[in-house]
Amino acid sequence: GDSSPKGPFVPTKADYQKVYDAVARRLADETDYDDGSYGPVLVRLAWHASGTYDKETGTGGSNGATMRFAPESDHGANAGLKTARDFLEPIKAQFPWITYSDLWTLGGACAIQELGGPSIPWRPGREDRDVAACTPDGRLPDAAKDQRHIRDIFSRMGFDDREMVALIGAHALGRCHTDRSGFDGPWNFSPTVFTNEFFRLLAEEKWVQKKWNGPTQFTDKTTGTLMMLPTDMALVKDKGFKKHVERYAKDSDAFFKEFSDVFVKLLELGVPFKTDDRIVFKTSDSE
Ligand code: DDH
């Protein structure tokens, strides 16, 4: 028999790659949802888990996964994210040693990579916290507002103008749902592929206010099928933001590089890591 002492399980990089592979496999298998992928909603889960960070108090952020609990799970901004949390439950069951907070951020990194985005170097070290660590409502952005609100919210996390614009470029992915946010529709024609299309369309299309009974949103004059939120339009109204929109619209490589850096930073806000060593996961299409 094996007489070696059995300490607590210490996962290696290979173990985290197995978790990545399982999420990637599930993304490839479960295509009967929205535009054919759970990837966008996984990205949104990772963002809303992380974007509650407050640099002054050091509260919030991805460490804790407190969106498992009410009241945070019921905050208006988190409507619909149960879909993403439930999608990851079988992965948690298969790898019970990983924390929810590591799993949700790894899921976001995996979705970006599997949908054709840049690699998102990721490191483990988050610990789940209990309901007492839930953040107050109002820390995530409100789509009906303007550039001042965007700067208030994202500077509280510690981001500058360039980083704010790069992050919001994630709206290349997914769509709005009337039964979640009240808004409706996708931002571009390939909502399951990570591209700089959000910026290209924002810079080049003519956007007009949508005529409907729902909240104020904008639609492209050419087809009338795409959408922009008031906060998206603020990125071309504000000079400080607009120069980055135009740069990313023209230079996909710059967007991919700068998005990767800032998404890595977002996922790590407030986490007391024990290692500086990040894992660059292999995507499912690399051999
Ligand atoms: Fe967003 N986002 N987001 N967003 N977001 C929505 C969907 C998605 C705002 C509002 C909305 C980021 C920034 C902002 C994604 C990623 C990111 C929806 C629609 C609203 C509303 C929700 C629904 O109805 O299902 C606002 C406001 C901001 C802002 O910063 C001012 C950022 C920074 C990210 C990121 O990932 C880094 C993704 C992906 C989606 C699509 C989700 C889906 O289900 O599809």
Pocket test for ligand 1, best of 142, 168, 245, 268 (most atoms within 8 A of CB): 168
DSSP letter (8 states) at residue 82? H
List % helix, strand, coil for the chain (3-state, nearest 5).
Answer: 50, 5, 45
Question: Could you say which of 47, 48, 171, 244 is catalytic?
Answer: 48
Question: Could you say which of 47, 104, 122, 187 is catalytic?
Answer: 187
* 5, 27, 119, 141 from 146: Cα distances, Å: 59, 34, 31, 10
* Stretch 125-144: mean pLDDT: 98
Residue 246 pLDDT > 70? yes
Predicted local confidence at residue 3, as pLDDT: 62
Beta partners for residue 219, in sequence order: 208
Q: What is the spatial distance between Cα 87 and Cα 26, in angstroms, rounded to a whole number?
A: 8
Predicted local confidence at residue 8, as pLDDT: 83
Among candidate residues 252, 174, 176, 187, the one with its CA nearest the CA of residue 220: 187
- Examine the residue annotation and report whether 177 is marked as an active-site residue of this protein: no
> What's the CA-to-centroid distance between 171 and ligand 1, angstroms?
6
- Examine the residue annotation and report whether 48 is marked as an active-site residue of this protein: yes
41 in ligand 1 pocket by Cβ < 6 Å?
A: yes
Residue 287 pLDDT > 80? no
Predicted local confidence at residue 2, as pLDDT: 60
* Stretch 227-250: mean pLDDT: 98
DSSP letter (8 states) at residue 213? S
> What's the CA-to-centroid distance between 274 and ligand 1, angstroms?
30
Predicted local confidence at residue 48, as pLDDT: 98
Residue 194 pLDDT > 80? yes
Q: What are phi and psi of 218, to 5 degrees?
A: -120, 155
- pLDDT tier for residue 153 given thresholds of 50, 70 and 90: very high
- ipTM, two decimals, is 0.99
State percent of the chain over pLDDT 90: 95
Predicted local confidence at residue 7, as pLDDT: 81
Contacts with 82 (C-beta within 8 Å, 6 or more apart), sequence order: 73
Predicted local confidence at residue 215, as pLDDT: 98
pLDDT digits (tens, 9 = 90+) for 41-65: 999 999 999 999 999 999 999 999 9
228 in ligand 1 pocket by Cβ < 6 Å?
A: no
Predicted local confidence at residue 6, as pLDDT: 78
Residue 4 pLDDT > 80? no
* Stretch 23-43: mean pLDDT: 98
Predicted local confidence at residue 229, as pLDDT: 98
